Structure 1
Amino acid sequence: MTRRSGHDPWPPDDTAADRGFVAALSPARITHADGQVVWDSDAYAFLDTPDCPDTVHPGLWRQSQLCAKQGLYEVTEGVYQVRNLDLANMTLIEGTDGVIVVDPLISAETAAAALALYRAHRGERPVTAVIYTHSHTDHCGGAGGVLPDGAGDVPVIAPSGFAEHLVSENVYAGPAMSRRASYMYGILLDESPTGQVGCGLGMAVSKGTITFIPPTRDVTRTGQEEVIDGVRLVFQLTPDTEAPAEMNFLLPERRALCMAENATHTMHNVLTLRGAEIRDARLWARYLDEALHLFAPEADVAFASHHWPTWETDAIAEFLTAQRDLYAYLHDQTLRLTNKGLTGTEIAEQVRLPPSLEAIRSVRGYYGSVSHNVKAIYQRYMGWYDGNPAHLWEHPPVDLARRYVADYGGSAAVTARAREYAAQGDLRFAATLLNHAVFAEPDCVEAREALASVYERLGQGAENATWRNIYLTGALELICRPAPVPLHSRMATALTVDQILDTMAVRVDGPRAWDEHLVLDLRVTDEQQTWRLTLSHGALTHRSTPPGHPPAGDAHATLTLTRLQLLALANGAQEDISTQGDPGALRRLLGLLDTPDPHFDIVTP
């Protein structure tokens, strides 16, 4: 991850990135109803200069210049994309009566602006369908901006398992993932040559209203065909690739192939740095191979949910071949060395891509990295434990740090030694020592400033945008703690009763609930079902029963309510709910629910 000297050796991709340009949004500044800036493409005007500053890796500078190109683009006849009005692209496929929207961005505000830009140049076509290519928020959160009145009769199509995985990833561990995402995407950094210069996959994540309109139609198999608004689509189901639920599709009559996020112009993450399920690099490679042989010969253009398209059948085949070989190589070499007894961190130091792959810009590590991906593949197979007994039961970070610092002779001695390592260019060990110093004595200004300086150097030398953002955000929070960015999300309103109850279960303070035993029945009127909640041994479990089959045995209390009233209760709102039995049972349960901390410390204890 050290910075390469000289200039970026890859030829410009402007021809592909500029091809089909129709118009830009000007000014490209989108706001929330409360005036908060949701998106600002114009903030990246500093990238217009061709000369890369010393504070940014040349390869990342060039990637950010390409990602910063903004506006409406024609992909092929009847297929358009709006790029750089959010982290992802919105694709628009023109049909007989209207337009099919593919991946409506993160926020309702940016999605509405993207659709308006399209309509300003292609006419007031109604939205006749929405397609979610996979279960990540940047591809569905803006649905309310293109369907402000909900789905109604408009089909909403997604891969099988979409809603389940979306909720699992964004709700159950949502607070922790959101906090880590603020590091990964550099949300707290200013847009500048010394701050955030993009994410490698796009420029940034929007900060608007996250909505969710559930799918109404599932894609369940490869080869499934759908005719939507007169447009024929042939789907390829690709579970456990870039997302647990994902799909590619071909538009046969337009010879256009959508690769979702399975093949973009960067190496991707096998495990995203904000946290998620580990992807299966082996399956990822196999599905890319399947797409290569199933669809590539039938396509004149391949486009994705990020970056710019690839045109010409032979170029598409080369592009998909490189992406396939990338994930296959990482997977197979990690397992080869695992079976020779190396651990994940050791393998990450040994594996490098073949020179023939390293020379291809579209697999460079602007978003994912060889080091992180190798460790993720190892973790998928072997878990966090590397087999060494010394690592089986280590002290937690603060206790470990205090022992290291004491043995070194105190925080001042550790800091001085770390400065020596940094001066010699060993920033990685300098960061390790200074991290111990900060965790042992978090109020030590000298240690915090020294660690911030090391993080800045590591970040400015990183070709990988997310590594840069993480290091620079860590440096920022060591010196000052910026105010958190307010979030606007309506995703929870689409949760099922089971999902709402699951979110309550992961909030139960187990030790405080050890000696409590509660049984509550929830009669959810709009679902016409009853759910029984049981709190036992500190665990909250639930099961549903169909109408006419009440749960067996007595409950401490029976509540009659709607799904949205249940959601309000789970979020701490006081609701006037009909209760039979012990009125204190619900209060006791709610009193045992912990409140997540969305702004927990990361670089300090």
Structure 2
Amino acid sequence: MNRDPLFERLWDGSAPMEEWTAAVSHGAITKVADDIITVHTTYFCGSVTAIRTSDGLVLIDTAKPETARRTLEVVRSWDDGPIHTVIFTHGHIDHTSGITAIDEEADARSRPRPRIVAHRNVQRRMERYEASHGYNSIAQGQQFDDPGYVYPIGQRRPDQIYDDTLSLTIGGARLDLFHGRGETDDATFVWLPDRRILASGDFVIWVFPNAGNPRKVQRYAAEWAAALRRMEALKPAILIPGHGPVVFGAERAAQMLRDGAEALEHLVAGTLALINRGATLDEILQSVKVPARYLAKPYLIPKYDDPEFLVRAVYHFYAGWFDGDPAHLKPAPAGDLAAELAALAGGPHKLADRAAALAAAGQSRLAVQLIEFAGAAAPDDRAIQAARAAVLRLAIGQETSLMGKAFLAVYERAAERRARE
């Protein structure tokens, strides 16, 4: 059982994850077991686990571009031997980009580059990122409120791929790899049966599951839950999340896995039940909510993704893009609709004034809808664009998820620019 005071406060919800991030920002080692460590540098960078074997080190993930070299330095402070194998738990850059620093070190030391093992779809993901590089740069920049961001591509591809399961024995250490779909379609979790240690990848991330990102490809809430159930059945004694601190103790590990599975199962079952009755997406969004007992868990706080976004993703998975509103089947151009509504209201300034009043009253959903109509009806009106920016700022303040805040901020900045032009 982990008796670290900060961990205990994270577990009971009295400490925010930002405090843990600050504590590990220099590059911190968690001793998982004899010959096994996990390195953390920030919550937003995936954890990196190093396993010492007689054939060399095995690394589970490699960190993101900004932290890869520091992560490798921390690993080297613990063991300076050759890196034999790297396992990618999935193809996101905060788990794969560090391979460049690792390869450069191997070349400089005249050592063989490590073998990369991953699910088959990691290679397909890397190919897709190259094909949609411009969009990925835009979407990632918006998601993290980083204008001008350029998505890094060109990471080395896996040397060995698998489909459902793969067992490896490296220098006396056995590692069982299992594929599942959750945040991505290429995800792997790693089980060390002789130690009862589970490296979950991003199936466990110390926030509500990231299965509804508005600007990313399809996510898989139902299969994410199934993967968590599969992990729970292994009965791990130690759980190494893809993000956040290591969880020691079988009871806590089981609780974290079970709670995550149950929350996802609730959303999926509720959404699917209403789809099967012919409900529209709007009706489903108003009806399907995560029970408060799950959102109260410190490791299921909807701080990054939003459960409402997950409902949309579940709906899309089963029912496609049409939401059941006939006006949305072949909608009028947004500018035409906005101009028509503005005329009915007595002009775009009427819409803007009403939006401002709604925002001040805390009704940010209606306020954003109306101010966007006003902005589309009068895109060159500086006063309306200034009002639009003000309404969006209020909406950002009322938003709880990082993604919601970041995406709204994109349009707030655009409105501010137009107001100055």
Aligned twin of 2:170: 228
User: Hey, what's the Cα distance between the residues in 2 that align with 1:376 and 1:321?
Assistant: 21
Aligned twin of 2:98: 142
Aligned twin of 2:23: 69
- Which of 321, 343, 347 aligns to 1:384? It is 321
The higher-RCO structure (CA 8 Å, 6+ apart) is: 1
Count of matched residue pairs = 407
Do residues 80 (structure 1) and 37 (structure 2) align? yes
Query: What is the deviation of 1:164?
Result: 0.9
5+ unaligned residues in a row in structure 2: which ranges? none
User: Hey, what's the Cα distance between the residues in 2 that align with 1:398 and 1:167?
Assistant: 36
8 Å CA contact 1:16, 1:309 repeated in 2: no
SS in 1 for 2:16: helix
Do residues 127 (structure 1) and 98 (structure 2) align? no
User: Hey, what's the Cα distance between the residues in 1 that align with 2:123 and 2:55?
Assistant: 28
1:422-466 deviation digits (Å, cap 9, x = unpaired)? 233212111111111212222222222222222222222322122
1:383-402 matches, within 5 Å, as 383-402=320-339
User: Hey, what's the Cα distance between the residues in 2 that align with 1:311 and 1:344?
Assistant: 40
SS in 1 for 2:239: strand
1:246-325 matches, within 5 Å, as 246-276=187-217, 278-293=218-233, 295-296=234-235, 299-325=236-262
Do residues 343 (structure 1) and 280 (structure 2) align? yes
1:69-114 deviation digits (Å, cap 9, x = unpaired)? 322222412222222355322222222253222211231x521221
Aligned twin of 1:471: 408
1:424-463 matches, within 5 Å, as 424-463=361-400
SS in 1 for 2:64: coil
Query: What is the deviation of 1:217?
Result: 1.0
- Which of 135, 152, 176 aligns to 1:176? It is 135
Are residues 93 and 273 of structure 1, via their aligned partners in 2, closer, same or farther at CA, if it must alter by over 3 Å? Answer: farther
8 Å CA contact 1:135, 1:244 repeated in 2: no
User: Hey, what's the Cα distance between the residues in 1 that align with 2:294 and 2:336?
Assistant: 43
Q: CA RMSD in A?
A: 2.8
% identical aligned pairs: 24
Q: Which is further off, 67-76 or 244-253?
A: 67-76
8 Å CA contact 1:241, 1:283 repeated in 2: yes
8 Å CA contact 2:58, 2:84 repeated in 1: yes
Aligned twin of 2:186: 245
Do residues 187 (structure 1) and 146 (structure 2) align? yes
SS in 2 for 1:327: helix
8 Å CA contact 1:452, 1:476 repeated in 2: yes
User: Hey, what's the Cα distance between the residues in 1 that align with 2:398 and 2:193?
Assistant: 44
1:39-69 deviation digits (Å, cap 9, x = unpaired)? xxxxxxxxxxxxxxxxxxxx99923333443
User: Hey, what's the Cα distance between the residues in 1 that align with 2:348 and 2:285?
Assistant: 30
- Which of 50, 53, 68 aligns to 1:95? It is 53
User: Hey, what's the Cα distance between the residues in 2 that align with 1:74 and 1:440?
Assistant: 56
Are residues 143 and 386 of structure 1, via their aligned partners in 2, closer, same or farther at CA, if it must alter by over 3 Å? Answer: same
User: Hey, what's the Cα distance between the residues in 1 that align with 2:412 and 2:112?
Assistant: 48
1:360-379 matches, within 5 Å, as 360-379=297-316
1:362-413 deviation digits (Å, cap 9, x = unpaired)? 1221122111110111111111212333221111222222222232222222
- Which of 343, 363, 369 aligns to 1:406? It is 343
SS in 2 for 1:69: helix
8 Å CA contact 2:212, 2:311 repeated in 1: no
Aligned twin of 2:155: 212
- Which of 106, 118, 125 aligns to 1:158? It is 118
1:95-114 matches, within 5 Å, as 95-107=53-65, 110-114=67-71
Query: What is the deviation of 1:249?
Result: 1.1
Are residues 208 and 405 of structure 1, via their aligned partners in 2, closer, same or farther at CA, if it must alter by over 3 Å? Answer: closer
User: Hey, what's the Cα distance between the residues in 2 that align with 1:435 and 1:231?
Assistant: 58
Do residues 423 (structure 1) and 360 (structure 2) align? yes
Q: Which amino acid aligns with 2:144?
A: Y
User: Hey, what's the Cα distance between the residues in 1 that align with 2:256 and 2:143?
Assistant: 27
Are residues 186 and 315 of structure 1, via their aligned partners in 2, closer, same or farther at CA, if it must alter by over 3 Å? Answer: same
Q: TM (normalized to structure 1)?
A: 0.63
1:452-601 matches, within 5 Å, as 452-480=389-417
User: Hey, what's the Cα distance between the residues in 1 that align with 2:238 and 2:380?
Assistant: 56
Aligned twin of 2:127: 167
User: Hey, what's the Cα distance between the residues in 2 that align with 1:88 and 1:373?
Assistant: 22
User: Hey, what's the Cα distance between the residues in 1 that align with 2:370 and 2:15?
Assistant: 30
8 Å CA contact 2:182, 2:219 repeated in 1: yes
SS in 1 for 2:23: coil
